[in-house]
Amino acid sequence: MGAMGRILALVLSARLLGGAAAAEGPKAPSAEQALSMQSPGSARISPDGRLVAYTVSETDWQDNEFKTQIWIAAADGSARSQLTRGKKSASNPQWSPDGRWLAFSSDRDGKRQAWAISPRGGEAWPLTSDEGGVQGFEWSPDGKRFAYSSQGPEPKDLKDRKEKYGDLEIVGGDARFSHLYVAEMPAEPGTPAKGEQITQGTEFTVQSFRWSPDGARIAFSAPRTADLSAGGTSDIYVVALADKVVSRIVSTPGPDSGPVWSPGGEYIAYTTANGEEFFFYKNTRIAMVRSSGGEPRILTAGFDEEPNLLEWSGEGIWFAALRKTHSWVYLLNTGSGKWRCTLGDENFSVMGGSFSKDHKSAAVIGAAPNSYAEVYVTHLQPFAPRLLTDFKAQYKDFSPANREVIRWKSKDGAEIEGVLIKPADFTPGRRYPLLVVIHGGPTGVDRPWRTADRTYPVEQFAARGALVLRPNYRGSAGYGEAFRSLNVRNLGVGDMWDVESGVDYLVNAGLADPDRVGAMGWSQGGYISAFLATNSTKFKALSVGAGISDWMTYYVNTDIHPFTRQYLKATPWDDPSIYAKTSPITNIKKARTPVLIQHGENDRRVPIPNAYELYQGLKDAGVETRMVVYKGFGHGITKPRQQRHVMEDNLQWFSRWIWGGK
């Protein structure tokens, strides 16, 4: 063998050995495997506490859909089985008061309707056949009726216009209104019930609703229109079923929503912005008011987060809320105004809860750090969750990365938390490539749980030998109102401080390689990634998913205009300077970092002109960029095949720039 032959042989041998070493390292799910993982959704305990119904998300590659089906588990952990099947999803399970039926939502016959099935199995049958489809539903307290909300049939004038002129939209003039309907349970199961319309008109559109304990009234929250920009107009109403008279009992400025009745029906609890004009980043409160109306009473003025009302029992009001990277369920004493954590602790988080009729047990979705979300049942006193599922078994052939919560100081002294994800074979004393994955929101939050990857292949990054940082930058939920307000009129700028200081913290700690750092994010995370592209030099590569590039472009195109006005406290016509300061496009000529752009063609939340503006600006600045448009999709890429491309494209992009194309 000649000298050249020996050199080639040595090179080939080195490559083979390198490949073998990589193969012996941590094993991570591929994009397709990660997207195929099942996960639990809402869990509902039966009235007698003996059974738990819960939803399971699954992937149908043939139909290219993520689907949801309902499972049933015995509360003692002795058995579990799948209850619903079919080509269409089944979601939002609700037990009838006697536990005989389980109702759920599905569009298996076209439009979304309410269905019922026996918890013992058998064929499901439609409870409704409403021409407009069903949005929400709830059993009456005695189980003899059920209420649902619907837009009803398409108005005749709209049908006539379509026939004459084709499909068009008059912006701000084509509002559809949802109303309440009540139907009697059919004497013989199998026949859809005929709903009677209870509310009507064009003064409000019904959203969440609850029956009074005696079944004589329904409380509901309703904004003036279904337009997202009208969310701040939501008020609390009560309708008497006997005469269909509607009374508005709460009308404070800002959104009032989610009514829940007291056990005796004398009071209604609800969440309120309490008159706050800039409610997007302010705390909501739990308030109570007499069901006949009157002066509301704020109950959680001292609770520094956003409570999510669950229900009201004889012991008090149950609500869920975040606490930094934890989520717990609390019990509020309406007399003293004091609350205590009842479900969850420092080592275990729960996502909401469903209670048995006697409020002695609950079903929850829960997770501990470095574990997977599972379905649990627990006594309320003491809290002792019993595992009912085994979703973690899907990962037995893999070596998942480990999560830990870290803290650092940002440029302005603000303390920032984040989840640091380390490879399963992490070695102290070694510097690793660092990839920053930035959540959306901005009031999202990252937790130290293990989950199947979506959008960004975190486990594959870690298995390849990278650290992954998921920062809970200013504005994130769980850290109180003051923290959520830190990026008001400071969007992008303060967010960049938090991300860059997190990178510096890991570099200074000897963990991260400063020459191999990348960042990515979707929605608000995409906006922050775009801001980094035009204002930072710390990154070798960036990925912008459905991100904002120009706040004025965003403001005039989005379906949620108040967001911009509240965070920037101005319109672009009133204060163009703050729109320029916080827009990535302002400093496009300073951009140097290669950028991958991914965006849904029909995105209304962050409309696609933002992506084209960034793409063209980067090209004009001579920066390498790649843009992928997902045809037919909105703000999220919601089908598995296209989601697989999102993940694999990000893996290839960062493999090229962080690992040199390996």
- The tens digit of pLDDT for each residue in 109-140 reads 889 999 999 999 999 999 999 999 999 999 99
Residue with the larger pLDDT of the pair 8 and 649? 649
Strands 308-313 and 125-126 turn out to be unpaired
pLDDT of residue 175: 84
Instruction: Provide the percentage of residues in the chain whose pLDDT is more than 90.
Output: 88
* Interatomic CA distance for residues 120 and 230, integer angstroms: 43
Angle, vertex CA 365, rays to CA 460 and CA 444, nearest 5? 60
The domain tally of the chain equals 1
Q: Determine, yes or no, domain membership for 649.
A: yes
* Interatomic CA distance for residues 101 and 124, integer angstroms: 10
Is 219 a residue whose pLDDT tops 80?
A: yes
pLDDT of residue 142: 96
* Interatomic CA distance for residues 401 and 421, integer angstroms: 6
Q: How many CB atoms lie within 10 A of CB 10?
A: 10
pLDDT of residue 373: 96
* Interatomic CA distance for residues 36 and 150, integer angstroms: 33
Lowest mean pLDDT among 148-157, 292-301, 475-484: 148-157
* Interatomic CA distance for residues 162 and 29, integer angstroms: 48
Residue with the larger pLDDT of the pair 499 and 12? 499
Paired tokens of 236? 């609390």
Is 64 a residue whose pLDDT tops 70?
A: yes
Q: How confident is the model at residue 440 (pLDDT cuts 50, 70, 90)?
A: very high
Residues forming a β-bridge with 211 = 218
Q: Determine, yes or no, domain membership for 58.
A: no
Are 479 and 442 in contact by the 8 Å Cβ rule? The answer is no
pLDDT of residue 133: 94
Instruction: Provide the percentage of residues in the chain whose pLDDT is more than 70.
Output: 96
User: What letter represents residue 655's amino acid?
Assistant: S
Q: How confident is the model at residue 189 (pLDDT cuts 50, 70, 90)?
A: confident
Note the pLDDT tens digit of each residue in 275-291. Answer: 888 899 999 999 999 99
Q: What is the mean pLDDT of residues 231-235?
A: 93
Is 305 a residue whose pLDDT tops 90?
A: yes
Q: How confident is the model at residue 60 (pLDDT cuts 50, 70, 90)?
A: very high
Q: Whose CA is closest to 491, among 441, 561, 557? A: 441
pLDDT of residue 52: 98
Domain span including residue 539: 398-658
Q: Determine, yes or no, domain membership for 560.
A: yes
Note the pLDDT tens digit of each residue in 340-376. Answer: 999 999 999 999 899 999 999 999 999 999 999 999 9
For residue 102, give the 3-state DSSP assignment: strand
Is 645 a residue whose pLDDT tops 60?
A: yes
Task: Judge residue 426's burial from the number of C-beta atoms within 10 Å of its C-beta, 0-12 exposed, 13-18 middle, 19 or more buried.
Answer: middle
**Please, what is the angle between helix 524-535 and helix 493-508, to 10°?**
80
pLDDT of residue 567: 95
Are 117 and 83 in contact by the 8 Å Cβ rule? The answer is yes
Q: Determine, yes or no, domain membership for 634.
A: yes
For residue 388, give the 3-state DSSP assignment: coil
Is 564 a residue whose pLDDT tops 50?
A: yes
Is 509 a residue whose pLDDT tops 60?
A: yes
Going across the sheet that includes 113-117, the strands are: 91-95, 102-106, 113-117, 125-126
Lowest mean pLDDT among 3-12, 207-216, 372-381, 648-657: 3-12
The CATH number covering residue 532 comes to 3.40.50.1820
Q: How confident is the model at residue 613 (pLDDT cuts 50, 70, 90)?
A: very high
Q: What is the mean pLDDT of residues 494-508?
A: 98
Q: How many CB atoms lie within 10 A of CB 163?
A: 8
pLDDT of residue 207: 96
Length of the chain in residues, anyone?
662
Task: Judge residue 640's burial from the number of C-beta atoms within 10 Å of its C-beta, 0-12 exposed, 13-18 middle, 19 or more buried.
Answer: buried
Task: State the residue for tokens 């609800």.
Answer: 270
Paired tokens of 366? 């829960």
Q: How confident is the model at residue 662 (pLDDT cuts 50, 70, 90)?
A: low
Q: Determine, yes or no, domain membership for 192.
A: no
Reported pTM: 0.93
* Interatomic CA distance for residues 509 and 431, integer angstroms: 9
pLDDT of residue 357: 96
Paired tokens of 521? 């994010």
Is 6 a residue whose pLDDT tops 50?
A: no
For residue 11, give the 3-state DSSP assignment: helix
DSSP, res 186: P
Q: Determine, yes or no, domain membership for 510.
A: yes
pLDDT of residue 277: 85
Note the pLDDT tens digit of each residue in 73-103. Answer: 999 999 999 999 999 999 999 999 999 999 9
Q: What is the mean pLDDT of residues 602-611?
A: 97
Q: Determine, yes or no, domain membership for 271.
A: no
